[in-house]
Every structure is written in structure tokens, then in C-alpha cells.
Amino acid sequence: MARLARLCVPGHPHLVQQRGHNGQPVFIDEADIQGFLRMLAEAAKASGVAVHAYGLAAGEVHLLATPSAADSLSRLMQAIGRQHGQAFNRRHGRSGSLWDGRFRTAPIEGERHLLAAMRYVESAVPDLRASSAPHHLGQATDPVVSDHSLYWALGNTPFDREMKYRTWFEQGTSSAEAERFRRATTQGWPLGEASFIDSLSLVTSRRLVARPRGRPPKAAV
């Protein structure tokens, strides 16, 4: 059976995940993380991707990003995957592929899910310093991050936005919400209301919902 094409819809935020090969670490120390972030900032600009949030765990990368073109996410992930893989292998004396196959992604309905997706991505790592959370909480200015308009809508000043996001962030991601985002990203299906999915059908020919399991019922004779 042919593999379903990856779904990338320009102008919509997407959850993106890339894991290390066989669960191995892709970040071992602070130098790995800072080097990756420099590559990410440069590659995002070159590929036309706005990165709204990120979380770098030891063995995986989580992003929330909006592509400007249908191939923007692929260009971004290919660039940082190749560059970081080479740098990581040099620094740590290893060889071979660093990454576990293709990256996974799912478009989300921004109005309903963007802020929750930001929280999910930023809290997916044990150390918030390896995420964009300090940027949104007013603790740092992160050159990687392009703030989404829905984050700006939280307040008229940086202080207002940071305080409101802090309150939201501290509420935490529920297990049900985390599972919803994880499943959408892993399976590659868009996350949103029926009207959102219908709107995507106007700009892509790819199937947007999973087929029912099992064989279709036989037609009545």
C-alpha cells in the first residue's frame, strides 16, 4: 500500500515531531542544543517557516510552526536534520543516521488549538530552558521564535501577554489534551472542527480523515 503523502498546508500552524533513531539521544549537552537552535533560526528563515514554539527533549524535537509554501516544512526539516546530524556525529564521534525516518506533522485549527499546542510543545521537555517557554514567559528574547497573532492577541503590551500566557501555561496540559496532539501528529491527520477540515479540502487533494477500519459492508442484493 502506498504511503500517504505528508500533509502541509501553507498559512496554517502545524505540529511537527522528529525523533532520534531507535530512541537514541539527539541532544547530549548544551552545545548540541545551542547549535541546533542556530541552525533552526537560519533554516526557518531560508525555507519560509515561522516557528511559534519549540521543545527539545533528549531524543526528540517538537515544533509548532506555520509554513509559507507546501514544501516549506520539508525544506526546513531536511536542512536542520542534515546539518545537526553531521555536527552531532562530529562532536560525539559517531556515524550513521541520527534520525528515525520521516518527520511527522499535522495542521491544526489555530483559533481552537494554537495556544494549547504552544503549551504542549513547550512543556514536552523536562528543562524549560530547552524550549521557547522563557520567551513567552518574558524571561528571554528568542531569535528562533516568530510569535503568532493569537499570542499577540493575549494583551496590548508584552507584560500583559506574558502574564496571561504564564497563567495559561501553569494550568498545564491535561493527559487527554496531550494524547489528542500526540495522536494527530503521529497519524498525520488535521486537528480541528469539521468546518476547518472542510476548508482544507479546498486546497489539497490528500485524504484528510482516516478510513473506517475493517472491510466495507457488502451491498444488498
In eight-state DSSP terms, residue 123 is T
Q: Which alpha helices (DSSP H) does the chain contain, by range?
A: 30-47, 72-92, 110-122, 133-136, 149-152, 158-171, 175-187, 194-200
Per-residue pLDDT, 204: 76
| Adjacent-strand bridge partners of 19 | 60
Average pLDDT value over all residues in the chain? 91
Helical axes 30-47 vs 72-92, angle rounded to 10°? 150
Minimum mean pLDDT range among 94-103, 164-173, 175-184: 94-103
Closest of 61, 69, 58, 184 to residue 116, by C-alpha: 184
The pTM (predicted TM-score) of the whole model is 0.90
| Whether pLDDT at 2 is above 80 | no
- The pLDDT tens digits of the residues spanning 145-163 come to 999 999 999 999 999 999 9
3-state secondary structure of 150: helix
Per-residue pLDDT, 173: 95
Cell numbers given for 194? 469539521
